[in-house]
Amino acid sequence: MNNTAYFPGCSLKAEASDYERSAAAVMEALGQPLEELERWTCCGTVYSLTDDDLMHQLASVRNLIRAQECGAEEIVTLCSMCFNTLKRSKVFIEQDAARLETVNAFMDEEPDYEGGIEVFHLLEILRDQVGFESIEGRVTRPLSGLRVAPYYGCTLLRPREIGIDEPDTPMILQDFIRTLWATPVEFAFQAECCGTYQIVDTPEMVLEKSHRILSSAMRAGAEVMVTSCPLCMHNLRLCYEELRSSLPEKRELSIVYWTQLAAIAFEVETGELPASMDKLLEGLPTSMELVR
Amino acid sequence: MSIPSENTIRIYVMGSAYEVPRGLTIMDAMEHAGWRFTRGAGCRSGFCGACSTVYRHEGDYRLRFVLACQTEAEDGMYLVQLPFTPAPRVSYTLAALNPDENVLLQHYPEIARCVSCNTCTKACPQDIEVMDYVQAALRGDIAQTASLSFDCIQCGLCSMRCPADIKHYHMAQMARRVYGRYMSPITEHLEERIVEIEKGVYAEEVDALVKMTRGELEEIYAARVVE
Amino acid sequence: MREAIARVEATRPARLQAGPPPAMTPAEREKVLAEFHPDYKAEKKRELGIGVSAGNVVPNEVADMLEAHLLVDPAKIDLSRVDYDVDVLIIGGGGAGTVAAIFAHQEGIPAENILIVTKLRHGDCNSTMAQGGIQAADRPEDSPAIHYIDVMGGGHYENKPELVQAMVDDGPEIIRWHEELGVMYDKENGEYMEAHGGGTSRKRMHSCKDYTGKAIFNPIRDEARNLGIPTLEFSPVIELLLDVEGKAAGAITYNLETGEYRVIRAKATVLATGGFGRMHIQNFPTTNHYGATADGLVIAYRAGAKLLDMDSVQYHPTGVAYPSAILGQLATEKLRSQGAVPINADGEAFVYPLEPRDVEAAAIIRECWSREKGIETATGVRGVWLDTPMIDEIHGEGTIKDWLAAMWTMWNRHGIDITKDPALVYPTLHYQNGGVEIEADGETSVPGLFAGGEVEGGVHGKNRLMGNSLLGYNVFGRRAGIAAAKWAKKKKSKIKTLSLQHAVDFEQQLADAGIETDLQSPMLLPDYRSKSVLERSLGRFI
């Protein structure tokens, strides 16, 4: 891994702490521990679409400055939304020297942002820098036979300029699932939006979307669904509980972070897993059992 | 008005010019000029936040934020005081709340509107990293919020300047109380001593002291062994 | 000044090695006090000529205020129209008053039947400015009895014993209450970091860095706000009300911004108006807040409350002597309890750094004005060095910035770095040792009138120790609040016809005693406008 600063984002320190714990353990196991950025601030949460409102770029740019200050070349995130916001901000601000100058002039208490700090999602780092093959080499408990649905949501893939894979035919999660010896289960709504913050004001819309996503995955035979976004996780788990009776299959679906899946296969700290996941794992031999 | 001499400076209070001696605080300079405060003066020692003052130097593009009682008046200052901040605080029952990582966000949801512009930090006369503690609160780090905001005197300038309408200092006050009650360890010997006093362990000894003459007390005092 | 500082630096290593000079013997203490403490100048005090404590000796400035005309002619006040009718009225929105309000509420008085009135903002008080700490005997090495001895010795054995007993017994419980309120006390490995203060024989000073006053008071105020206790700000009391039976019955407030008066009827009244620093006794600068003008003493005295120990004044040994912009502001005793030592112009340590405050102050005055070993500033102020860099030398680099941040900031705003250079200090007017005499539950000699905090007299005798004012306001604010609530629930507290006859009588006593004065009281606020302005002043248009 290059000189990389890890940007957690707020959710990872609160509701999504299992995501961070499992990711930290996985990266430790790969010999590339996450180094947390100092004095990071919220990414801005949702990328601002107003072209003339530079105020909403400050949060992201300030984090790029923090990375620059500590001599990092790139920022890596776990949360898809943080990734999306930071990367789009970076692109937007670096596209136009006038914008960068305005933002730098406003933040006169900070050193100028000079541009060039790259923003990556951890999945990209694993694919392009670490290499999926070295992940496969670290697996001690192969997840053979486990049927895993890759749920991308939107912010990892769209807009195209910043996405980590082809927006319509992404493969990165499937490839990753295969490196853990599990079986990817493709389904129609894997890049459908979960409904995001509409959960607050129009939960019925989020329920409808989630129903579609969950049913589609279950019909395709998934036992597990992985996501990389704390907000997707929040919505999917909430809706899964609400919709249980109306879902097509009696069988349970375990929704976990993709890093938790890797942590299981590496036999390191996974963070808390849903009870149904523990049940699924009962049938999978551990490394000790394999040796015997 | 005479021209400022070596020993005097010219300040502008809400636009009006006054000539005052050099070396006074802004507060003393305004009083020297004839102002008598009801608002805008409190402890006069930098602990109460009553004398929040905003000024601009002639020719300077930026506003500056200070406490009038702690800052020396300088030639060419354009001054105004902001002795009150209309910032509603949220009532809560400390003993009954759940001190989890969402507690600050639940009571002050507008902290999520922070865009990290850092204007609050620039407005703080106590040099507190205000934005950093709001950010810590946002990610549920109560200990960090409490520790970064420890020196806050609740003058309100942060909240006056915030484009996101956050009530920083009220939220931080709550964070410090939540930290103090729920996260700061309890010292065991305090409880033990309270029980002892309730049981009257020291009653006889203190009662005896209460009845002593001055001479007897003087003897005991002189024989004290200082730890 | 750099040359003078060099002399302090030159002797520092040897002084660090040798430790501070020894404490004085009782006889040495008496001598330095008698010769140099401002309290011992007979010509600066006089006997009160009128009132219930006539014959008591008090500073001239206090006598002037106690023997001044009323601020308002009682005939102008319409007592038939009551603006607020409450069970418990609390006069003063500082530490003692706010504590009293919370405990009156806990004792069963609904919030809406309590009213705090205060001259400036809720929290404009000395309580919030305290820096060093609060005493409470909670360590196994310590006990309430040892605390008692320290307090009595510090107060020259003239404290009211039952008040001291109440204070030392309640101490640990007060700390626990603060813990429940979420006060962030300094702790290390789960234990309080307790230090010495001047005159203590055990380490029992609990602190919140050097913002102890603020860090304790702000949660207390926050709690009162959570409880919804009503507060009337910018409304000082200008006269107490009695009823025709002579019981305390409320007060008249004056709105500083609109000039209106208000009539408040109350079954019980708690006086928590603080002290008198802004009267600048003997022209000393002061550490006190803007409103510390002894209003409570004045109105209580007119209503017949006895005073105690008003002859003694506390001068804090170390006020700022330079720069002049912050002259007289507090340099906390915690600086000395963490190792800083007063040093004279020759670089010598001349006094044990933790004598009781009156002794320490007298020793510094002697150094400056008798032994001529003070340091004189360009404006003619004399002081001695407080060798603050010793603190980091003893406890490690960063101690000052971490644990004495308020002090570092105060001087740093004026370009002085106390981690590198010593600070120039001189005694400053700090505390009203005496006040309105109380009993152990805050009762005064006027039925239905209770008092707590700096306005009360008797707890500290002739000299208060560091850390006992924060404890005192909590203990006696609490006791006064509880006693006031209990009183208000009794039948006999029922208010008969409201009266200001005591104020009318007071004017008559002034006349009868032949006291001629232009002064009116209470003073409410000091006037710092310059002579040149006052000479030409036509008064305000409102």
**Between C468-489 and C95-106, two packed helices, what is the crossing angle to 10 degrees?**
40
- Look at A144-148, B58-62, C312-316, C360-364 and tell me which has the smallest mean pLDDT: B58-62
What would you report as the CA-atom Rg of chain A, rounded to the nearest whole angstrom?
19
Q: Tell if the CB–CB gap between C120 and B50 is shorter than 8 Å.
A: yes
Q: Which among C336, C366, C464, C502 is annotated as catalytic?
A: C336
The verdict on A181 touching B (C-beta cutoff 8 Å) is no
* CA–CA separation, C450 and C434 (whole Å): 15
Q: Tell if the CB–CB gap between A14 and B139 is shorter than 8 Å.
A: yes
| Mean pLDDT (whole number) for C10-28 | 96
pLDDT tens digit string along B32-56?
Answer: 999 999 999 999 999 999 999 999 9
**Closest to C404 measured CA to CA, from C353, C328, C354, C340:** C340
DSSP string, B141-191: -HHHHHHHTTT-----HHHHH-TT---HHHHHHHHHHHIIIIISPPPHHHH
End-to-end CA distance of chain A: 35
Which position has the token pair 């009551």? C82
CATH 3.40.50.11810 maps onto chain A at 130-291
**Nearest-CB residue to C214 (from B47, B91, B222):** B47
DSSP string, B82-93: ------PPPP--
The verdict on B144 touching A (C-beta cutoff 8 Å) is no
All chains having 3 or more CB pairs closer than 8 angstroms to chain B: A, C
Burial class (CB in 10 A: 0-12, 13-18, 19+), C426: buried
Beta-strand pair C456-457/C435-437: parallel
A-chain residues within 8 Å CB-CB of B116?
41-42, 44, 58-59, 62
pLDDT tens digit string along A164-207?
Answer: 999 999 999 999 999 999 999 999 999 999 999 999 899 999 99
A-chain residues within 8 Å CB-CB of B102?
14
Q: What's domain C2-36+316-428's architecture? A: Alpha-Beta Complex (3.90)
CA distance B101 to chain C (A): 17
| Mean pLDDT (whole number) for C137-151 | 98
* CA–CA separation, B12 and B108 (whole Å): 38
* CA–CA separation, B30 and B37 (whole Å): 9
C-chain residues within 8 Å CB-CB of B180?
179, 181-185, 219
The pLDDT of residue B1: 45
Q: Tell if the CB–CB gap between C138 and B187 is shorter than 8 Å.
A: yes
Which position has the token pair 């009128």? C50
CA distance A151 to chain B (A): 25
pLDDT tens digit string along A235-288?
Answer: 999 999 999 989 888 889 999 999 999 999 999 999 999 999 999 999 899 988
The pLDDT of residue B186: 82
**Nearest-CB residue to A42 (from B102, B118, B135):** B135
* CA–CA separation, B93 and B107 (whole Å): 11
Q: Tell if the CB–CB gap between A107 and B140 is shorter than 8 Å.
A: no
User: What does the longest C-alpha to C-alpha distance in chain A come to?
Assistant: 65
What residues contact C17, with CB distance under 8 A and at least 6 apart?
none
Single-letter residue type at B175:
A
| Mean pLDDT (whole number) for B172-195 | 95
A-chain residues within 8 Å CB-CB of B118?
58, 62, 107, 109-110
Q: Helix, strand, or coil here: C316?
A: strand
The continuous run of DSSP H or E covering C366 comes out as helix C357-369
The pLDDT of residue B61: 92
- Residue-averaged pLDDT of chain A: 95
Q: Tell if the CB–CB gap between B190 and C187 is shorter than 8 Å.
A: no
Question: Interior CA angle at C203 toward C197 and C206, to 5°?
Answer: 75
Question: Interior CA angle at B102 toward B96 and B106, to 5°?
Answer: 75
Q: Tell if the CB–CB gap between B114 and A39 is shorter than 8 Å.
A: no
Q: Tell if the CB–CB gap between B118 and A109 is shorter than 8 Å.
A: yes
DSSP string, chain A: --SEEEE--HHHHTTTHHHHHHHHHHHHHTT----BPTT-----SS----TT-GGGGHHHHHHHHHHHHTT-SEEEESSHHHHHHHHHHHHHHHH-HHHHHHHHHHTTTSPPP-S--EEEEHHHIIIIII-HHHHHHH-SS--TT-EEEE--TTTTT-STTT-SS-SSS--HHHHHHHHTT-EE---TTTTS---TTHHHH-HHHHHHHHHHHHHHHHHTT-SEEEES-HHHHHHHHHHHHHHGGGSS-SS--EEEEHHHHHHHHHTS------HHHHHHHHTS--HHHHH-
Are the CB atoms for B82 and B160 separated by under 8 Å? yes
Q: Do chains B and C touch (3 or more CB pairs under 8 A)?
A: yes
**Nearest-CB residue to C290 (from B44, B146, B178):** B44
Q: Tell if the CB–CB gap between B118 and A55 is shorter than 8 Å.
A: no
Q: Helix, strand, or coil here: C141?
A: coil
CA distance B186 to chain C (A): 6
* CA–CA separation, A266 and C540 (whole Å): 81
Q: Tell if the CB–CB gap between C182 and B181 is shorter than 8 Å.
A: yes
Question: Interior CA angle at B79 toward B77 and B82, to 5°?
Answer: 150
All chains having 3 or more CB pairs closer than 8 angstroms to chain C: B
Q: How many CB atoms lie within 10 A of CB A77?
A: 25
pLDDT tens digit string along C474-490?
Answer: 999 999 999 999 999 99
The verdict on C369 touching B (C-beta cutoff 8 Å) is no
CA distance B116 to chain A (A): 5
Residue of chain C whose alpha carbon sits nearest to that of B197: C169
| Mean pLDDT (whole number) for C277-283 | 97
Single-letter residue type at C403:
W
The verdict on B143 touching A (C-beta cutoff 8 Å) is no
Q: Do chains C and A touch (3 or more CB pairs under 8 A)?
A: no
CA distance B120 to chain A (A): 12
What residues contact A174, with CB distance under 8 A and at least 6 apart?
A150, A184, A186
C-chain residues within 8 Å CB-CB of B193?
137-138, 172
**Nearest-CB residue to A42 (from B101, B102, B116):** B116
Are the CB atoms for B163 and B119 separated by under 8 Å? yes
Tokens coding C90: 């609390």
Peptide bond connecting C522 to the previous residue in cis, omega within 30 degrees of 0: yes
C-chain residues within 8 Å CB-CB of B190?
138, 172, 175-176, 179, 192
Are the CB atoms for C404 and C332 separated by under 8 Å? yes
* CA–CA separation, A212 and A194 (whole Å): 10
**Closest to C458 measured CA to CA, from C297, C300, C311, C308:** C308
Q: Which domains does chain B have, with CATH numbers?
A: 8-81 (3.10.20.740), 94-183 (1.10.1060.10), 192-216 (no CATH)
Q: Tell if the CB–CB gap between B36 and C143 is shorter than 8 Å.
A: no
Beta-strand pair C134-135/C205-206: antiparallel
Q: Which among C316, C382, C430, C502 is annotated as catalytic?
A: C316
What residues contact C461, with CB distance under 8 A and at least 6 apart?
C151, C152, C154, C155, C156, C157, C158, C159, C160, C309, C312, C433
* CA–CA separation, A263 and A275 (whole Å): 16
Are the CB atoms for C120 and C233 separated by under 8 Å? yes
Does residue A1 carry a pLDDT above 60? no
All chains having 3 or more CB pairs closer than 8 angstroms to chain A: B
The verdict on B130 touching A (C-beta cutoff 8 Å) is no
pLDDT tens digit string along C20-37?
Answer: 999 999 999 999 999 999
Are the CB atoms for C249 and C127 separated by under 8 Å? no
The pLDDT of residue C541: 67
Q: How large is the ipTM?
A: 0.97
Does the domain formed by A130-291 have CATH 3.40.50.11810?
yes
Residue of chain B whose alpha carbon sits nearest to that of A39: B132
pLDDT tens digit string along C212-233?
Answer: 999 999 999 999 999 999 999 9
The H-assigned helical ranges of C189-284 are: 212-226
Instruction: List, as ranges, residues 151-180 from B with C-beta within 8 Å of A.
Output: 163
pLDDT band at A53 (very low <50, low <70, confident <90, very high): confident
The pLDDT of residue C42: 95
The continuous run of DSSP H or E covering C484 comes out as helix C468-489
The H-assigned helical ranges of chain B are: 26-32, 103-107, 119-123, 130-138, 142-148, 157-161, 168-178, 188-199, 203-211, 214-222
C-chain residues within 8 Å CB-CB of B107?
none
C-chain residues within 8 Å CB-CB of B38?
120, 234, 256-257, 525
Single-letter residue type at C431:
Y
pLDDT tens digit string along C510-540?
Answer: 999 999 999 999 999 999 999 999 999 998 7
pLDDT tens digit string along B205-214?
Answer: 999 999 999 9
* CA–CA separation, C336 and C245 (whole Å): 52
Dihedral, A173, A174, A175, A177 alpha carbons, nearest 10: 80
The pLDDT of residue C539: 82
The pLDDT of residue C542: 44
* CA–CA separation, B114 and A37 (whole Å): 19
Does residue A119 carry a pLDDT above 50? yes
C121 is catalytic: no
Q: Tell if the CB–CB gap between B116 and A59 is shorter than 8 Å.
A: yes
- Read off the pTM: 0.94
**Closest to C319 measured CA to CA, from C405, C384, C404, C373:** C384
Beta-strand pair C237-243/C248-254: antiparallel
* CA–CA separation, B80 and B77 (whole Å): 10
The verdict on C527 touching B (C-beta cutoff 8 Å) is yes
The pLDDT of residue A2: 65
C46 is catalytic: no
Class of domain C74-312+433-499: alpha beta
A-chain residues within 8 Å CB-CB of B117?
55, 58, 106
CATH number for region A4-123: 1.20.1050.140
Residue of chain A whose alpha carbon sits nearest to that of B118: A107
**Between C161-181 and C144-154, two packed helices, what is the crossing angle to 10 degrees?**
120
Instruction: List, as ranges, residues 186-225 from B with C-beta within 8 Å of A.
Output: none
Burial class (CB in 10 A: 0-12, 13-18, 19+), B162: buried
**Closest to C273 measured CA to CA, from C239, C236, C242, C310:** C236
* CA–CA separation, B35 and C327 (whole Å): 20
CA distance C118 to chain B (A): 12
What would you report as the CA-atom Rg of chain C, rounded to the nearest whole angstrom?
23
The continuous run of DSSP H or E covering C249 comes out as strand C248-254
Does residue A46 carry a pLDDT above 90? no
Q: Tell if the CB–CB gap between C128 and B189 is shorter than 8 Å.
A: no
Asked, colleague to colleague, whether C2-36+316-428 and C74-312+433-499 share their fold, the answer is no
A-chain residues within 8 Å CB-CB of B114?
41-42, 59
